Structure 1
Amino acid sequence: MSERKVIAFFPEAAYGPALNSVGIAQACEALGHKAVFLTDPGMTGVYSAYGFEEHYVNMSEPMPAEEMARYWTDFINGHIPNFRKAPIDQLDNYVKECWEAIVSTAKWAQKELPAILDKIKPDLICVDNVILFPAIKQYGKPWVRIISCSENEVHDPDIPPYLSGMSIDDKEGHARFQKRFEEVIAPIHADFNAFLGECGEQPYPLGVFFEESPYMNLLLYPDPVKFERRHPLPPERFHYLQGCVRTDKPYEIPQFKAHNDKPLLYVSFGSLGSGDVELLQRLVRAIGKLPYRALFNVGEHVEKYTDLPDNVIVSNWYPQPSVIAQVDAVIHHGGNNSFTECLFFGKPAIVMPYVWDGHDNAMRAQESGHGLRMDRYDWSEEDLARNLAQLLTDSRMGERLERTSAAMRSRKGPEDAAQILDKVLANA
């Protein structure tokens, strides 16, 4: 190990990137370094719950923490009708508004980041976001980009465009999606380039909001599902972490009123996706008729789930890695935490995406033979029963998942990341 250094982590204000960074930070501290977190006030308490310092960066008009915490929840809930649309048809509504908000966060962060960095004095900064924060690039210390979303966030002409959810073979679809994305994003991108100019940075090509770090870029995608690129990423600057599963609280599976000897399912659409109460209630009713047990993560909406079937238990939160390790199959939204945790623990999954890179991860799970992609709304109870039965009986998929799990566990992603960051510090 190099001498004790301060490593600042700056994940975007969402639980997926946040908890991935927690896993890496835990491993960095095990090496003897000090990890701290830069965070939007809306994520207050997330990192301190794991024992880390939190330093707050306003990324929008300052407001009470409770109001800030609700911003993205309200944003997602307002777009629930758009979840029924194909990815290309979400570009001029959900995706457009997301990028407008993301660019705004970068502008706001620039007001406070220089002073906050001067206060923390980090020796290394790790950013898990989809946009550049100029103050971090210009601080004068090494910075590392963490790519916790789908691997295709880093473009290659032979793989599907980011956010498209398209098959690797649909080349015409790739071109059509990219063309429409650039049309929708053009005015937002021009505004961001103007901001970069004000900060003394060069403009980015249309559609690009972040550059790769010259020091190191860490991708969470594991080898068994990564894309075959026309231009392989140079290993001296890009490293696949094979997932980055954090250490979380243990969880004891409760007793169910029925089917205690049957396969156990875990159903979660993440903290934001839990707002789609109608869909989750439909799944509760459908699974209630099947010979399984199921744990449902329903977020802050627990009171809306009444008269539950005897084989279903709901909660507002679960220590997800501890739960997934013990279940037989998972239904999730394609968030990168859920995606990589299922692979890490060798659990088959039905992926029902609704936005962002969930579409990409759903297609990747299916095309790589690690799960099934299922439309979020266009399904019958018979479809669900058939797909669950396939997950639980497909021996080839099970064997593939066992191999993937063994490979990921042998690599120990968080420890791997910490060793790499230690080397970046030693060479600084």
Structure 2
Amino acid sequence: MTSYRFLVTAIDAAGHVNTVLRFSEGLKAAGHEVYFAHREKHRHLAVEGGFSFIPFDETLWKVNLDELMLRLFDLSVAKFRKDPVERLLEKYPNEEEADKLLSIYYDVVNQALDKIISDEIVKFDAIIVDFVSPSPPLYKSPIPWFPICSLNPLVLYPSGPPPFSGYSVNSDQSNWDEFRKIHRQAHSNLIETVNKDLDVAGLKQARFNPAKFVDSPQTIGFYHYPAALDYTECEPIEPGWCRIDSLIRQPDDDTDFVIPERLKDKPGKTIYFSLGSLASADLAMLQRFISILAKSPHKFIISKGARGDQLELTDNMWGENFVDQLKVMQVVDLVITHGGNNTFMETLYYGKPMIVFPYFNDQFDNAQRVVDKKIGFRVNPYDFNEYYFLDCIEKIFADEQIKNRVEAISQSMRNSNSLSEAVKMIEKQIGLKKASVH
């Protein structure tokens, strides 16, 4: 068997990083050599996965990426508490600055990637990327590249409900085109800014599309979603995209998560609560959640986020700023999540029902898919009713059908060989590429 050398990278967001790391595990299992390229703070992930690591040259950047993302979040937090249409229609004083920060974010990642690809010391046979905007270094390189879409796959189904709307496939379609129009208008400044950068890079054929937040494949690309939830009723899918049912990476070590002492003797079920790395920065909202969950008869493990030191937990809770989510998932009875695709997939993989509290982008679509497929509940931040929220928890524990449906999805994800098939498809494409140049 021919062994190839892969460069693997993603934008600096937990879900995207975790997805490409799992893909890397599949490449390694097939006998290939993997180089994970990212920020120095992620080196340990490469070491734990047994991959080579190439650090981004952050001296190229004039910004602190962590501070930039928190600043971007703070500029947008007011709109995140509104429904998807209202937040798009309303103009905010800091929107231009937010768009500029997002453009800078794309640019600095591409700078780092360009330096690695241009390095003649290490030659790569292919590149695996999980990006949300066209990348000039990829288009300019002769190395074949394969995109990963770790978003809800509605972005790949032109005939389905508009991505990021949270509309059901069964909803009134007369609203769909209007949402698409409003969404594009709301992102017009960002579109113009990013496309100007692409023009400067000589890439007039590549355009940024905020209705997708994923680039079209060069040949083939892969998205992460279980077959039981996929939008097959909205086919056809865009050309070149293939589904992988499960891209859940392995835990960092073999130790189990132990329920903390302060919770061991508490009554009720054990529930994991996480709003992800960005939404958890909304401290006012998170503290409100905590005060409501204090009224529940159950116990909670809380992922508090980067600003978690400012939160006060109640007696029926334990939490840390960052918890080992892959291990926590395995010992809880229910997950309350923002619906980011990575946490969404992990919850399903470990067979846990969920309540989704969507905050932005594809989280709305995942939340609605939970409702449409009857595997949990959706609670919206813009019409939040604490009694409904607490009742959803009790309804899930009382509904055996929800538990059975989730368990069936979990088993199908665990039994799928779609990752190994995806690796074979890439191997074939690399072989064809090499044959064409000889």
User: C-alpha displacement at 1:382, in angstroms?
Assistant: 2.1
Inter-CA distance 102–281: structure 2 relative to 1 (3 Å threshold): closer
Aligned residues: 421
Name the counterpart of 1:368.
373
Correspondence for 2:18: 19
Deviation at 1:16, TM superposition (A): 0.8
Corresponding letter in the other structure for 2:369: R
Amino acid at match of 1:408: M
**Residue 210 of structure 1: CA displacement?**
4.9
**SS at structure 2 position matched to 1:299:** coil
Match of 1:278 in 2: 284
Identical counterparts, % of pairs: 24
1:266 and 1:294 in contact (8 A); partners too: yes
Q: TM-score w.r.t. structure 1 length?
A: 0.88
2:364 maps to 359
Task: Using the TM superposition, give the Cα deviation of residue 194 of structure 1 relative to its aligned residue in structure 2, in angstroms.
Answer: 3.9
Change in CA separation of 1:281 and 1:205 when aligned onto 2, cut-off 3 Å: closer
**Pairing 1:301–2:307 present:** yes
After superposition, residues 399-418 of structure 1 pair within 5 angstroms as: 399-411=404-416, 414-418=419-423
Instruction: Give the structure 2 partner of residue 343 of structure 1.
Output: 348
Cα separation, partners in 2 of 1:73 and 1:419, compared to 1, 3 Å:
farther
**1:317: Cα distance to partner?**
1.5
CA distance in 1, matches of 2:6, 2:404: 39
Which SS does the other structure have where 2:187 is aligned?
Answer: helix
Cα gap change, 1:269/1:372 in structure 2, threshold over 3 Å: closer, same or farther?
A: same
TM-score under structure 2 length normalisation: 0.86
- Give the AA of the match of 2:226: P
Q: CA deviation at 1:203?
A: 5.1
Question: 1:86 maps to what in 2?
Answer: 83
Does residue 1:76 correspond to 2:73, yes or no?
yes
Residues 7 and 36 in structure 1, CA contact (< 8 A), matched pair in contact too = yes
Q: Is the 8 A contact 2:294 2:316 kept in 1?
A: yes
Whole-Å Cα distance in 1 between the matches of residues 217 and 354 of structure 2? 33
Q: In the TM superposition, what is the alpha-carbon distance from 1:97 to its structure 2 partner?
A: 6.5
5 Å matches for 1:142-291?
142-157=144-159, 159-168=160-169, 169-198=171-200, 199-202=202-205, 204=207, 210-233=214-237, 237-249=240-252, 250-257=256-263, 259-260=265-266, 262-291=268-297
Partners of 2:429 and 2:246 in 1: CA distance: 20
Question: Any conservation in 2 of the 1:48–1:54 contact (CA below 8 Å)?
Answer: no
In structure 2, the CA distance between the partners of 1:275 and 1:186, relative to structure 1 (3 Å rule), is: closer
Give a deviation string over 1:152-187, Cα, whole Å, max 9, x none.
Answer: 222412x11122122222312211111112223334
The change in CA–CA distance for 1:205 and 1:269 in structure 2 (over 3 A counts) is closer
Contact 1:258 1:311 in 2 (8 A): no
User: What's 2:402 paired with?
Assistant: 397
The range that moved more, 21-30 or 84-93, is 84-93
**Match of 1:372, SS?**
strand
State the match for 2:35 in structure 1: 36
SS at match of 1:343: helix
Change (3 A) 1:357 1:207: closer
Q: Give the deviation of 1:74 after TM superposition.
A: 2.8
Kindly state the Cα deviation for residue 112 of structure 1 after the two structures are TM-superposed: 5.2
The residue identity in structure 2 corresponding to 1:233 is I
Query: Which one is further off, 318-327 or 182-191?
Result: 182-191
- Quickly say closer, same or farther: Cα 1:177–1:40, change in 2 above 3 A: farther
Q: Does 1:320 align with 2:320?
A: no
Check if 1:8 corresponds to 2:14: no
Pairwise CA distance, 1:262? 2.4
Residues 8 and 90 of structure 1, relative CA distance in 2, 3 Å threshold: farther
Name the SS for the 1:325 alignment partner.
helix
Q: More displaced, 97-106 or 214-223?
A: 97-106
Please provide the CA RMSD for this pair: 2.8
- SS of equivalent residue, structure 1 residue 389: helix
Counterpart contact for 2:274–2:304, Cα < 8 Å: yes
Query: How far does residue 4 in structure 1 lie from its aligned partner after superposition?
Result: 2.4
